[in-house]
Structure 1
Amino acid sequence: MKTFKLVLITIWLCLAQNFAQAQTNTAKISGLVLDKAQKPIDGASVTLIAAKNSATVKAVLANADGSFLFDNLAAGNYCIAVTTMGYSTYRGTPINTGTGQAIKLPAIILVQTSKALQEVAITEQKNFVEHKIDRTVVNVNALISNTGANALEVLEKSPGVVVDENGNISFKGKGGVMVMIDDKPTYLSGENLANYLKAIPASQLDQIELMSNPPAKYDASGSAGVINIKTKKSKDAGFNGTFAASVGRAKYWRTLESLNLNYHVNNINLFANMGYGVGNNYRRLDVTRTYLNGQGNITSGYLETAFFHPMSYNPNIKMGMDYYLSPKTTFGVVLTGMFTTGRNTNPVNSFITDSKGKTDSAIIAYNTTRSKFYNKGGNLNYNHQFEQKGHELSFNLDYLNYNSGRTQSFSNSSYNNAGVLGSQQNITDDLPANINIYAAKTDYAKPLSAKGKFESGLKTSYVNTDNAAYYFNVLNNVSTVDNNNSNHFIYKENINAAYVNFNKEYKRFSAQFGLRAENTNVSGHQLGNAQSPDSAFTQHYTSLFPTGYVLYKLDTAGSHTLNLSYGRRIDRPYYQDLNPFVTILDKYSQFEGNPFLKPQFASEYQLTYGYKSCFSLTVDYNVINDYQVEYDMQKGDIFLATTMNLGQRVHWAFEIYWALKPVKWFNFTLNGELDHNQFSGQLVNSFINNSTTYLYVNEVNQFNFTNGWAAELSAFYLSPARDAQFTHIYREQINVGISKKVLNNKGTIKLSARDIFKGNYSAGNITNIPNVLATYHNDNGNRSVTAGFTYNFGTTPKNEKRRNSSAESEQDRVRN
């Protein structure tokens, strides 16, 4: 509860300060920012400065009509400064607010400058979180504690995102998130997705876009929405780059290095991101199972302690070229590659107890895994902008290949209660998998008169997965095929989609409506062996996914807004969940796929009140039918897990976002959720009808000092919760960090500590298993200390503009 107390204290202090200010600060200063033609300048930076010492008091961006407002001002003398690209800086004469009145300034006229922009060193740190009309943007480098982290760990600290002990990602209290890299689906899930994200250094990431209700142009997959991870790509002309390296220790040492390069000259832009990491992780799992008879009396028990020490080596590269055929036409090619090798040693100690809790027998197991994971891909993209601003056409062709292999050995030795060896069992397996993905899409956008816009697009994708599992029983060094568990499964999926989207903006009202249609064609083929015959299945279905957004400005300045949105989405089953294989975890634990698993459909409703970019309050309602859940059961001596459809899950949530800058050197950001889930439906032999209410709080405190020093204190708290068959205890985490700019502000040294109080572990109970009581406890060794160094280098040719040329603005439109 340390984190929860810290959060409450911080909130109370900030509220106290605001309430105190509210009693004394009544003055207002408002005005307009216009150009010489008396047209408003949208997005100009307006800063309120204390006249006595030139300290920044507040800063806002001018609204679309050029208006700005500073309210709740204490008595004093202030100046207004206005800056925006392409115009000379404006600074006004002192303004006195001693009488507490509302002061309306004469229109501020900015003079356009024709001088070429000179190179400017930007030293102000980006905000951790930025809220936009349809998404929340997380600036990865704004957090010092992201030093030395991987992409999965960065996600865990993003507002509303929770990563469980198995690497499953949920967003705003809901599972079923579609994760994208640079606007492209990863097509991975579960353990495969977690391992993929762990191999990407945080130093390669730029932003994370969180969309709980994405517009129609995005794939309908992901009942909880879309998380789009954007990697770095330099926008500067000339040759430049960034080098980053870090070393950290949790239970064991690990390292991450990356090099980002960009060369932009004339009509060509070349770029490459390279990374290498050594993962050296740890996990301890404790499991208890108590078996009962029909009268509820204990008959026996099972206790297990398992240790995992996965180690991996993760080189990766992304490289490409943009070629500007004309100032309005761009052609691009992107190549990606990743090669991960790893090994995992997994000793397991298990004990069988009698009805009185006395040890009856023990199983000592030593399991080892060697794995490899290849990922390669290519993208061709084309973008053309017509004469009218915003009128554009784009094409994308993609190919991805995931190739993985895993070999395992399980050595089990059984002992009686006297410690005498009774029997030995040796099992080996070979688990190859190959996934080929082909996708093509086109998008078209056409601005309409009177602030309207029409968008449409087509997409087709084809996925072919080939998975095999070969199990062998080993006796006296002789291997015999185990046809009970060996299998070969081929899965093919084709999705064809089309969408239209229309938006319209009025003075205080704007709306956006879209419709996406997706046609899905699925076939699965389970090949037989000497013991099991072939089996196959097919599915064909077409679904419509409407979306709608309505935004209303409660005041003429647009400071207070209401936003109502609706969307329908789908979660198709994960490939490995459809795979009917039995995966052996240990002698008494297995996982089995379910080829009859159906997709789940979700309807999402949101109502949000927002105040500028510093406060929002959201009510969220989400209903999922055919909810996909993990189901654990007892099957003979084996504890078997699978995935199945539960009838329905209803989700309510109240969400708050609050950003505060009480002084120039301190930023505070708070995200909080109060979630309620109701589960109902048939779970094999029992009917579930239960609910849970829980709290999630995430806060970030950023301190920017003089001479290049900065610090950070961040924390999250997740209260106890339930998910269908599983109950979870609370989780909490506190991170701290400090950084210093060096080498003329081109380099940064960072030191961070993650989970300093070791509160982020998972534990709970597994319910609704007839005559079985089960608990689990996972310690993932999250507490760590990391030191990192980042250096920016490069030159900019004097005869080229920075990023305001027409060709460079086109580069921003290229999806790669």
Structure 2
Amino acid sequence: MKLKLLFFLTLFTLLLFNFSRAQTGGKITGSVLDEAKKPLDGATVILLLAKDSTVISSQLVNRDGSFAFQNLKDNTYLIRATYIGYKNYQGSNVVVSGQKPVDLPAFILTAAGKTLNEVAVTAKKSFIQQKIDRTVVNVGALISNTGTNALEVLQKTPGVQVDADGNITFKGKSGVMVMIDDKPTYLSAANLATYLRSLPASSLDQIELMDNPPAKYDAAGNAGVINIKTKKNTIKGFHAVLGGNYAQGFYGRNSENANLNYRTGKVNLFANLAYDEEHTWRRLEIDRDYLDANGNRTSSLKDISYFRPTNYNTNIKAGIDFYASPKTTWGIVYTGDISRDHDNSPVYSLLYGQNGGLDSTITTLNTSRNKFGSNGINLNYTHKFDSLGRELTFDLDYIRDISGGNQLFVNNSYLPDGTLTNSTTLNDDLPSTINIYSAKADYAHPLKGKAKLEAGIKSSYVNTDNAANYFNVVNGVNTIDYSKTNRFLYKENINAAYVNFNKNFGRFAIQTGLRVENTNGDGHQLGNAQRADSSFVNHYTDLFPTAYFSYNLDTAGHNVLVASYGRRVGRPNYGSLNPFTFFVDEFTQFSGNPFLKPQFTDNYKLAYSFRSLFTIALAYNYTADVQGETIHRNGDVFISTQGNIGQQKTLDLSVNTNFQPTKWWSVNLYAEVYKNTYQGAFYTGYLNQSQVTVSGNGNNQFTLSPTWSAELSGFFDTGGTYGQFVTLPKGMLNAAIQKKIWNNKATIKLTMQNILQSFSPSGTITNIADARASFHNTLDTQVARLAFTYSFGKSANTPQKRETGGADSEQSRAH
């Protein structure tokens, strides 16, 4: 590791101090902007000879809209700029003489008209765009995203999978950091899934997939970063999008949303409001065999659980931008989320003896009511010193999450003939409070030769207070159970700084950076009448280098090779460090692990892309002290906890392509083959497990007429290994049809999800001492949905909002 860090530090230093290396030939530089003078990231610029319009070279502009043609012979040239949804722009003649650089005024592209000679012209972004450090998915390119929510959009995103509990994996790895507008979601996996379900797809612009994020981003997130970028209109006046949908699965569900924007003078006001009511159903079956020392079955247990939760979720994101001057913007954003749910989840446990006969039956009546409230405030500032890209930004964040839950467990044991032998009642109260404070500042400074230097600092502080109060209920009287009752306090401070450098050398481009993070954690488990106090302290400082190298195999930039390396960390969730136990039933428990260590991952990747139409990539990832859910026995009880399993190695080959067989049919396909290998000793025994997995997803869009369109999409997974868990194949097929009405201002869409009822996450659990186990889920995912959206007021082709938020990874670990 030290040699690796020394290599990248040396490379970074050499590039930083030698970026002004002399170039031969002439040079033309410029930028491409929209009517609001914002960069048109992804626009194409083409260099032509003026005398006969021969194409000399072409390239995609950089993220700041800039471009540079270098090593040019003395001649007279033309430059043309194009971008989907905008009119082409062609400048006047440009004369190159000697090595004197020519810096052109910005090209301003205007939006294309709606009609031309009464023939409708429809402009649409491509579904996938490839960049040096990320893959960009344009949400609006898929009609089936209309009327859905953000979680459903992620399910159709290349390389992303969402399991039955809403846990998100990216390229076969868990631990991905999900961000909204470069701002952390600050939610546990369960609460994140709830929030994403209530966030309408109509409010989303793009999804950025970064399996190896640059140094600007927090190093947290073993599987990289998924950044969901939302829309915000900047055209003066009022604009709104209203939507609603009703879906029918086993039960009905509905959601409504409104996205509002009003700009006048120097002030821009915006608000996104959403309400979601969801009633779902799930059946979980777990089979366990208990074994003797020789591996013979001594008894077995079948757990059948039914979940019928009803969730009510309301969220709001509202803010104001004040344009103090053409170069200075102040903003304040409020985010709020109120969720409540109730569930009546019975569990039926059947115990069988050695000969297979039924010994006893236990029923657990589990009634729960939970509530969650989150309030966050963000203050942001942007100052642009000049038009060249020199910029300073800062963010201040405060988030407060308060949650609580009450559960009532009634356990009744019966003999095979139905005789009641035992009855116990347990009640719990589970309050939790999390406070998160964060401050960060970022500075970008352009250098000669279209190079750029970026740097920033960040500090965050988190304190959590989680309690678990358990009571034995006898004859209606609650008596505290000290063996289960607990209270856990945790404080954490992370300080970070980074520097990032990028530069184009003609057909060769480089981006490299270094981030340092200092972590200080302090946990305290309070004692009670039966248990003494305990505490732990963690302090560590780590370096996280990143590097990207791209090379255009041709002068037009159609064939591009990209190589990258990055190091990342996965810190334990705050709840995973909490040592007390949560109960599901008499035979199933969840427990925290205060000794859980962070995991560190090295990511290597080599990719080839052709005009963003086809990409093939080979990646290798190595993770030390990998974290994962572990299952171990305590008598007949199975206890689930997060543990450090050992090491994980992943070799991944992925292919992504989008093409158009005909004018009315467009296709996007993503497929990958990866091998996960887990090795290491932990408390359930030595684990040495590997498996090859084939997975992919695809989307077909059909333009049936100017107002009618349809879509057929789906995904598949052949199953794989994830620590102790080995999953079975699963997949899903979806269809949608859409009609535009009211001069294309409104849409009606009908979708059908999981047509073949082929999504039933199932598998086995290995490495449990003297036991074996398997699980099978039946989910309420075959759902028909009717959705309606309506847009009115002034609109803009390019959503624009300064991406705010400085608390990058803390709340993703909130529970």
**Category of TM-score, reference length = shorter chain:** 0.7 to 0.9
Aligned with 1:437: secondary structure? strand
Q: Which amino acid aligns with 1:296?
A: G
Q: Match of 2:789? A: 790
Aligned with 2:309: secondary structure? strand
Kindly indicate whether residue 478 of structure 2 is the aligned counterpart of residue 473 of structure 1.
Answer: no
- The whole-number CA distance in structure 1 between the counterparts of 2:387 and 2:241 is 36
Cα deviation, residue 38, structure 1: 8.9
Q: Which amino acid aligns with 1:576?
A: G
Cα deviation, residue 720, structure 1: 1.9
- The whole-number CA distance in structure 1 between the counterparts of 2:414 and 2:252 is 36
Q: Match of 1:260? A: 259
Q: Match of 2:356? A: 357
Q: Which amino acid aligns with 1:378?
A: I
Q: Match of 2:236? A: 237
373-382 vs 179-188, which moves further:
179-188
222-231 vs 431-440, which moves further:
222-231
Cα deviation, residue 688, structure 1: 1.1
Q: Match of 1:568? A: 567
Q: Match of 1:709? A: 708
- The whole-number CA distance in structure 1 between the counterparts of 2:448 and 2:107 is 30
Q: Match of 2:813? A: none
Q: Match of 2:494? A: 495
- The whole-number CA distance in structure 2 between the counterparts of 1:113 and 1:645 is 54
293-302 vs 648-657, which moves further:
293-302
Q: Match of 2:272? A: 273
Any conservation in 2 of the 1:330–1:814 contact (CA below 8 Å)? no
Kindly indicate whether residue 539 of structure 2 is the aligned counterpart of residue 531 of structure 1.
Answer: no
- The whole-number CA distance in structure 1 between the counterparts of 2:88 and 2:551 is 34
Cα deviation, residue 662, structure 1: 2.2
- The whole-number CA distance in structure 2 between the counterparts of 1:204 and 1:281 is 24
Classify 1:330/1:689 alpha carbon distance in 2 versus 1 (closer, same or farther; 3 Å).
Answer: same
Gaps of 5+ in 1: 1-36, 48-59, 68-79, 91-109, 797-801
Classify 1:610/1:116 alpha carbon distance in 2 versus 1 (closer, same or farther; 3 Å).
Answer: closer
Q: Which amino acid aligns with 1:397?
A: L
Any conservation in 2 of the 1:391–1:447 contact (CA below 8 Å)? yes
Cα deviation, residue 616, structure 1: 1.0
- The whole-number CA distance in structure 2 between the counterparts of 1:120 and 1:146 is 22
149-158 vs 743-752, which moves further:
149-158
Cα deviation, residue 388, structure 1: 4.0
Kindly indicate whether residue 579 of structure 2 is the aligned counterpart of residue 580 of structure 1.
Answer: yes
Q: Match of 1:417? A: 416
Cα deviation, residue 117, structure 1: 6.9
Kindly indicate whether residue 239 of structure 2 is the aligned counterpart of residue 249 of structure 1.
Answer: no
Classify 1:415/1:395 alpha carbon distance in 2 versus 1 (closer, same or farther; 3 Å).
Answer: same
| Highest RCO, 1 vs 2 (Cα 8 Å, sep ≥ 6) | 2
Cα deviation, residue 786, structure 1: 0.4
- The whole-number CA distance in structure 1 between the counterparts of 2:709 and 2:87 is 31
- The whole-number CA distance in structure 2 between the counterparts of 1:138 and 1:374 is 31
The TM-score with structure 1 as length reference comes to 0.85
Any conservation in 2 of the 1:127–1:139 contact (CA below 8 Å)? yes
Any conservation in 2 of the 1:260–1:272 contact (CA below 8 Å)? yes
Aligned with 1:464: secondary structure? strand
- The whole-number CA distance in structure 1 between the counterparts of 2:770 and 2:618 is 40
Cα deviation, residue 191, structure 1: 2.4
- The whole-number CA distance in structure 1 between the counterparts of 2:681 and 2:43 is 57
- The whole-number CA distance in structure 2 between the counterparts of 1:642 and 1:744 is 55
Q: Match of 1:548? A: 547
- The whole-number CA distance in structure 2 between the counterparts of 1:175 and 1:684 is 22
Q: Match of 2:436? A: 437
- The whole-number CA distance in structure 2 between the counterparts of 1:669 and 1:567 is 28
Any conservation in 2 of the 1:86–1:114 contact (CA below 8 Å)? no
Cα deviation, residue 140, structure 1: 2.5
Cα deviation, residue 425, structure 1: 1.0
* CA offsets 1:480-509 (integer angstroms, 9 cap, x no match): 111111100011110000000011111111
- The whole-number CA distance in structure 2 between the counterparts of 1:41 and 1:635 is 65
* CA offsets 1:681-721 (integer angstroms, 9 cap, x no match): 00214211121111011111111232311111111110121
Kindly indicate whether residue 203 of structure 2 is the aligned counterpart of residue 204 of structure 1.
Answer: yes
* CA offsets 1:44-66 (integer angstroms, 9 cap, x no match): 6799xxxxxxxxxxxx9877578
Classify 1:385/1:595 alpha carbon distance in 2 versus 1 (closer, same or farther; 3 Å).
Answer: same
Classify 1:566/1:118 alpha carbon distance in 2 versus 1 (closer, same or farther; 3 Å).
Answer: closer
- The whole-number CA distance in structure 2 between the counterparts of 1:188 and 1:613 is 33
Cα deviation, residue 614, structure 1: 0.3
Aligned with 2:234: secondary structure? coil
User: What are the residue-to-residue correspondences of 1:213-362 with 2, within 5 Å?
Assistant: 213-362=212-361
Q: Match of 2:721? A: 722
* CA offsets 1:235-275 (integer angstroms, 9 cap, x no match): 32210110010000111100111000000111110001000
Aligned with 1:145: secondary structure? helix
- The whole-number CA distance in structure 1 between the counterparts of 2:561 and 2:390 is 29
Aligned with 1:174: secondary structure? coil
Q: How many residue pairs are counted as aligned between the two chains?
A: 729
Classify 1:83/1:602 alpha carbon distance in 2 versus 1 (closer, same or farther; 3 Å).
Answer: closer
* CA offsets 1:281-313 (integer angstroms, 9 cap, x no match): 111000111112122222111011110011011
Aligned with 1:193: secondary structure? helix
Aligned with 1:194: secondary structure? helix
Q: Match of 1:799? A: none
Q: Match of 2:644? A: 645
Classify 1:196/1:81 alpha carbon distance in 2 versus 1 (closer, same or farther; 3 Å).
Answer: closer
Q: Which amino acid aligns with 1:585?
A: V
Cα deviation, residue 355, structure 1: 1.0
* CA offsets 1:719-778 (integer angstroms, 9 cap, x no match): 121112111101101110011110011001111111111111111111111221211101
- The whole-number CA distance in structure 1 between the counterparts of 2:536 and 2:563 is 41
Classify 1:792/1:84 alpha carbon distance in 2 versus 1 (closer, same or farther; 3 Å).
Answer: closer
* CA offsets 1:22-48 (integer angstroms, 9 cap, x no match): xxxxxxxxxxxxxxx99888776799x
- The whole-number CA distance in structure 2 between the counterparts of 1:795 and 1:621 is 47
Aligned with 1:395: secondary structure? strand
Q: Match of 1:741? A: 740
* CA offsets 1:118-153 (integer angstroms, 9 cap, x no match): 975773343332222221122223333334433222
Any conservation in 2 of the 1:383–1:814 contact (CA below 8 Å)? no
Aligned with 2:556: secondary structure? coil
- Among all aligned residue pairs of Structure 1 and Structure 2, give the percentage whose two residues are the same amino acid: 48
Aligned with 2:192: secondary structure? helix
